[in-house]
Chains A and B, each alone.
Chain A
C-alpha cells in the first residue's frame, strides 16, 4: 500500500531500485542533489539536472515536463552520499507560471521499478516559491528512508542550492539548469494541451516537452520554435450530453471538459510510460469531471479512496478570483430534465440554508446585545460617569459588526445564486418555466411526461429579487387547493372577495392548462365542475380551445354525473390493480390521468356528493385521478371538522403572493407566487390551440 506522507513524515524504503514519479499541473524541472551526512553537496557534479541528467545511481529527465520519472538505485550511490534531495523547479522564461502557487500542487510518489507504490506526497501550501525540495531519501543506520520535505524557495533554484552548500556556484548551476531546459524546450514542439483550467488559460503554460498528442512530438525539429501559447479549446464542445436542444444555452468553461482533469497525465516523451501507476487515485479529478462528462467514473460516489492523495485537479471548481461561473444543468441526473430539476432543488436548499445562517447570526447578535445591555443596566458602577454609555455603545457596535458580516456572507451567497438563476431560468423546459419564458412560444406537445411541473415561484424576505421555481413532481401525489379565501397578505387584504375568487379561478386555469400542456396527447383529461357557472369567464380559454374532456358541469345534476363517472373509474381501476387484472378493464375506459377542477366548492354539493369528493381525494391520486379545488374554506364552515382531512390532504396554493409554504430543511415560511400568465399575453391560448391541433391530428 502506498503511504500518504504529510510534510515532515518519513517512511522506510524496503528496496534499493526506485522510481520517483512526479506529476504537476504544468511543466516543471525535476532534479536531485546528492548530499553527504551533513546535508551538503560536495560540488556541482553532485547535482543531477536536465543539463547533467545522469549520476551514478541516479537519473533525471532532460526536460521540463508535467510528468517525470526519476530512477534511483540506492545500492549504486557512492558511500559518501547520505542524502538525496529531490527538487522541483519552475522553468524560467516567458509564458510559464511564475510561482508554484499558480499551478496545481505537485504530486510526488516513490515507487518500485514495477510501479508498486511505496510512498507518496502532495506538495501543498506553496505560494510564491519557484523551487522546492519535495522529498529527501536519506540513510539512517544503514537503512534508507524517504521523508516528505516540501521546503520551498521563493528565490528559486539558486537559493535552494545555496542552502545545500553550493553557495559559490549556485547561480551558475541554476543558470545551467535553465539553459538546458530552454534547449529542451527548443527541441520539442510546444503543445501543452490546454487543460481547460482557469489557471492555465490565464497564464499559458510554457510549452513543455510533454504533449498530449502521443508520439507526434517531433524531436529535433529544426531551429528554435518560439514558445507559443496554444489557444484554448472551444469550451463546452465535448459536452454533448448536456447540450440538449432544450437547454439552448452555450456552456462556457464547463469543468467537465474531459481533457481538463486529465492534463497532469501527459506522458513524458523522454520516458514513455508503460503502466502508469494505477494506484494514484485519479478518481478525484474524475469525479470533478462532473455528471455527463466525457469519461465515466466507476468509483463509488459516496466513498473516496482513503489512500493516495491526488494532485489538485487542474480545473478547480472555483478559480482564485471567485466562484466559477454557474452552468445550467450543473447537477446529477440521467437527463437534462432531471439535472435541471435537481439543480433547482439544490438552489432552493442553498437559499434556505444561507438564509438560515444569516437569521441565526442576526438572532444571536441581538440576543447577545440584549444580554450585554442588561448587564450594563444591572451593574451599579455603570451609573457613574460615562462608563455605562461606553459599554452600551460597545455592545451595539459588536451587534452591528456581526450583523454586517452576516449580511456580507448572505449577499455573497445571494449573488452566486442569482447568477445561477440567471443561467438556469432560460434553460428551463416549458414544464419548469414560467409563462413569461419564451420557451412557451415554441411550445410543442411533448411525447413523454416531464419529471416535474412549476406551480409558481418561491422567495424569502431576505432574498431580494431572487425567485426559486417551485417544482412539484409529476404525476401529482396530492391534489391542489387554490384558496379563494382572502389571504393574510397585504395583496390579499386589499382585494375584495369577488376579485380574489376570479383570481383563484384564473390561477386554477393557468395550472390546469400547464398540466394539460406538459402531458403527452391523450394522457391527461380535465373535467370541470362549476356548479353556479361563476367560473365561466376564467374557463373560457379551456372551453374555447376544446381541450376539456367535456363542457363544465353545472347544477346539482352535473356535479352528480361527473362525480359518478370518476368514482366509477377509481373503483374499476382499483379493483383491476388489486386483482392484478389490468387487462380486464372495460375497453371503453379512458386510461388517461384525470383532473377534476371544482369551482366554488361546496356550492352545488349535497352530503352525498361531498362524501364522494372525499373518496376521490383519498383514493384518486393512487389511480391517477386528481382534484383541484377552488374554494374558500369559510364557505364550507358548515361542515365543521368533517372536511378538515380533505383540506389537509390538498396542497394549498394561493392566487396572490402569500407566505404559507414551508421548506423541508429549515422550516422557513416561503412566499409563494403562482405561475400566472402575464397580463395581455396570448401564450396560454396559443399553447392550448397547439395542443388541440395535435390532439386532432392524433385522433384523440
Chain B
C-alpha cells in the first residue's frame, strides 16, 4: 500500500506550487520474533533505536537520538526511546520529527539511521519497518521493511538534504553494524 523506495532513489520534497515540505517524520516500528525452543512463548526483547545526524558541510554538528531527544535548535525531535517495540502494533514505536523550516541554515544534510541497541540482527525482528512520512498530511513518502535484512544490526536509512531552495530525500538503505549512531559514522561518511 505504499511506495517502497529503492536504494539510491531520490524524491524531491518540493511541491508543485513552489512550497516545500515543511515537516517529515521518520517512524520506526517492530516486534520481537518469538524464540524457538523449549520456552517458545518467551520473546526476547529487542531495542531498536532511531537516530538522526545533522551535518554541515560533511561535518557532524548535532545528533538526535535517545540520549539527546531534541536538537539544540529544536528543529529535530525524537519522540522518546522505546525499549521493546511492538507497542504500536503496526504504528510507529519510535519517531524522529524534523521541522524543515526551522533547521539552521548551515545544516545541509540530515541522515536517518536505525540501530539494534540490544545487538540482535534484523533477522530476529518481526514486522520491522521504517518509513518516512510527510507530517503535514500523514502521507507516507517511503517505506523499508527491515525484517529479513540479514546479518546486520544497523541500517543507514535515508538522508534529507538541501537542494536549491527546498529539500530532497534520498533513500540510502545501506546495511551496517553498530550499537549506536556513533558506530555508523564511518559508514555514513561515504553517503554525504
Which residues in A have some Cβ–Cβ distance to B below 8 Å? 3-6, 9, 11, 101, 105, 122, 124-128, 152, 281, 284, 302-304, 306, 308-310, 312, 349-350, 352-354, 356-358, 360-361, 364-365, 368, 402, 405-406, 408-409, 665-666
Contacts and interface: CB of A to CB of B under 8 A. Distances in A.
Given A6-B140, A105-B137, 10 more contacts: A124-B137, A128-B17, A302-B79, A353-B72, A354-B73, A356-B72, A357-B104, A358-B104, A364-B56, A402-B105
B74 A350 contact: yes
A310 B17 CA distance: 19
A357 B75 contact: yes
A365 B91 contact: no
Interface residues of B, number: 32
B139 A101 contact: no
Contacts of A308: 138
B119 to A, nearest CB: 28
Nearest to A362: B106
Contacts of B59: 364
Contacts of B74: 349-350, 352-354, 356-357, 665
Contacts of B16: 125-127, 152
Contact of B91 (A306, A350, A408, A665): A306
A360 B61 contact: yes
Given A126-B16, A357-B104, A364-B61, A304 B138 contact: yes
Contacts of B106: 360-361, 364-365, 402, 406
Contacts of A303: 88, 91
A358 B107 CA distance: 11
A101 B15 CA distance: 11
Contacts of A127: 16-18
Interface in B85-100: 88, 90-92
Given A105-B137, A353-B72, A360 B104 contact: yes
Given A306-B90, A364-B106, A356 B139 contact: no
B137 A3 contact: no
Contact of A11 (B1, B75, B136, B140): B1
Contacts of B17: 101, 125-128
A126 B18 CA distance: 10
Nearest to A312: B137
Interface in B127-160: 136-140
B1 A360 contact: no
A309 B104 contact: no
B41 interface: no
B57 interface: yes
A303 B59 CA distance: 34
Contacts of A9: 1-3
25 contacts: A3-B1, A6-B139, A9-B1, A11-B1, A101-B17, A122-B137, A127-B16, A127-B17, A127-B18, A302-B79, A303-B88, A303-B91, A306-B90, A306-B91, A350-B74, A352-B74, A353-B70, A353-B74, A354-B73, A357-B72, A357-B73, A402-B105, A405-B105, A406-B105, A409-B105
A309 B61 contact: no
Q: Count chain B CB atoms within 10 A of each CB in A306, A354, A368, A402 and give the residue with the most.
A: A306
B81 interface: no
B62 interface: yes
A360 B106 CA distance: 8
B45 to A, nearest CB: 21
Contacts of B57: 364, 368
A101 B16 CA distance: 9
A3 B138 CA distance: 13
Give the one of A5, A281, A304, A360 with max B CB within 10 A: A360
B16 to A, nearest CB: 4
Contacts of A365: 106
A488 B145 CA distance: 58
A281 B61 CA distance: 38
B102 interface: yes
A402 B108 CA distance: 12
A6 B3 contact: yes
A229 B136 CA distance: 30
Nearest to A407: B105
B29 to A, nearest CB: 9
B9 to A, nearest CB: 14
Contacts of A306: 90-92, 138
Contacts of A408: 105
A370 B15 CA distance: 37
Contacts of A304: 138
A110 to B, nearest CB: 14
Interface in B33-82: 56-57, 59, 61-62, 70, 72-75, 79
A364 B57 CA distance: 9
Contacts of B104: 357-358, 360-361, 406, 409
Nearest to B72: A356
Nearest to A666: B72
B136 A312 contact: yes
Contacts of A360: 61-62, 72-73, 104, 106
Nearest to A302: B79
A357 B102 CA distance: 9
A187 to B, nearest CB: 34
Nearest to A1: B1
A26 B139 CA distance: 22
Contacts of A665: 70, 72, 74
Contacts of A11: 1
B73 A309 contact: no
B73 A353 contact: yes
A313 to B, nearest CB: 10
Contacts of B1: 3-5, 9, 11
Nearest to A665: B70
Given A127-B17, A353-B73, A357-B72, A310 B2 contact: no
Nearest to A309: B138
Nearest to B54: A360
A303 B80 CA distance: 13
Nearest to A405: B105
Nearest to B14: A125
Contacts of B75: 353, 357
Nearest to B73: A357
In the complex, the 9 A-B pairs of residues with the closest C-beta atoms, listed nearest first = A353-B74, A357-B73, A127-B17, A357-B104, A356-B72, A361-B106, A405-B105, A125-B16, A309-B138
A147 to B, nearest CB: 13
Contacts of A4: 1-2, 138-140
Contacts of B56: 364
Contacts of B2: 4, 6, 9
Contacts of B105: 357, 361, 402, 405-406, 408-409
